[in-house]
């Protein structure tokens, strides 16, 4: 051991994630990352090897968001209410002004998954966290009688999860005044669970 690191890894990765999230991988340059983190090029490359390595770290960090969503799901007793809160949160989180940033995992699925197997795997892992959380909520709702028990919980969870991916795409493409139609989609999705 010799000289210790001077930078705060939490802060650096947060800034990196933010940049990749709004601009995407290709539109974010190494210079952008230097500016965003305040580190020198040498330090950045010594610690994370490459731009792709940095992106992987950002995606790993993004898992916390998925886990937070799952925690919030588990905190609400009513399954339907929990799923409504989840989807409303997703729409609200993906639509900040001035530019909607969508979901980092969804964006990465489109932009990177076909070109980088490592990233594709991380995206699927991110997806899995939320999908399994939804499935748990679904089973809970079936146990309490809130949801019909004669339907496949895993299939229903995949259905809701896919709807969320659709909402995230629409959030990135629609104008702000179409926001209301996304909430209508949420209600139609919840209606389908009864």
Residue 134's binding partner among DNA, a copy of itself, none (Cβ under 5 to 8 angstroms by kind) is none
8 Å CB contact between 74 and 136: yes
> Restricting to residues 35-94, which ones interact with DNA according to CB under 7 A?
39-43, 45-47, 49-52
Exactly one of 20, 24, 62, 94 binds a copy of itself (CB under 8 A); that residue is 24
Determine, following the binding rule CB under 7 A, whether residue 22 of this chain makes contact with DNA: no
Residue 185's binding partner among DNA, a copy of itself, none (Cβ under 5 to 8 angstroms by kind) is a copy of itself
CA distance 33 to 15: 8
Determine, following the binding rule CB under 8 A, whether residue 110 of this chain makes contact with a copy of itself: yes
Cα Rg of the chain (Å, integer): 19
**Helix (H) or strand (E) run with residue 183 in it:** helix 179-191
Give CA angle at 56 (51, 62), nearest 5°.
Answer: 125
**Helix (H) or strand (E) run with residue 32 in it:** helix 30-37
User: Looking at beta carbons only, is 1 or 191 nearer to a copy of itself?
Assistant: 191
Residues near DNA (CB under 7 A) are 1-7, 28-31, 39-43, 45-47, 49-52
């Amino acid at each position: 051991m010799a000289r210790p690191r001077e930078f705060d890894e939490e802060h650096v990765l947060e800034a990196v994630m933010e940049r990749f999230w709004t601009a995407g991988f290709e539109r974010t340059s190494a210079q952008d990352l230097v500016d965003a983190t305040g580190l020198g090029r040498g330090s950045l490359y010594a610690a994370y090897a490459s731009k792709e390595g940095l992106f992987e770290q950002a995606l790993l960090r993004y898992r916390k968001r998925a886990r937070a969503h799952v925690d919030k799901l588990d905190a609400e007793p009513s399954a339907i209410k929990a799923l409504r809160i989840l989807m409303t949160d997703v729409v609200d989180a993906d639509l900040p002004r001035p530019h909607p940033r969508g979901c980092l995992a969804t964006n990465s699925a489109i932009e990177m998954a076909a070109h980088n197997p490592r990233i594709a795997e991380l995206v699927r892992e991110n997806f899995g966290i939320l999908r399994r959380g939804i499935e748990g909520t679904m089973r809970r709702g079936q146990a309490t009688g809130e949801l019909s028990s004669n339907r496949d919980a895993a299939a229903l969870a995949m259905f809701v999860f896919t709807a969320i991916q659709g909402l995230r795409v629409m959030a990135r493409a629609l104008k702000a005044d179409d926001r209301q139609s996304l909430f209508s989609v949420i209600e139609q999705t919840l209606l389908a669970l009864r």
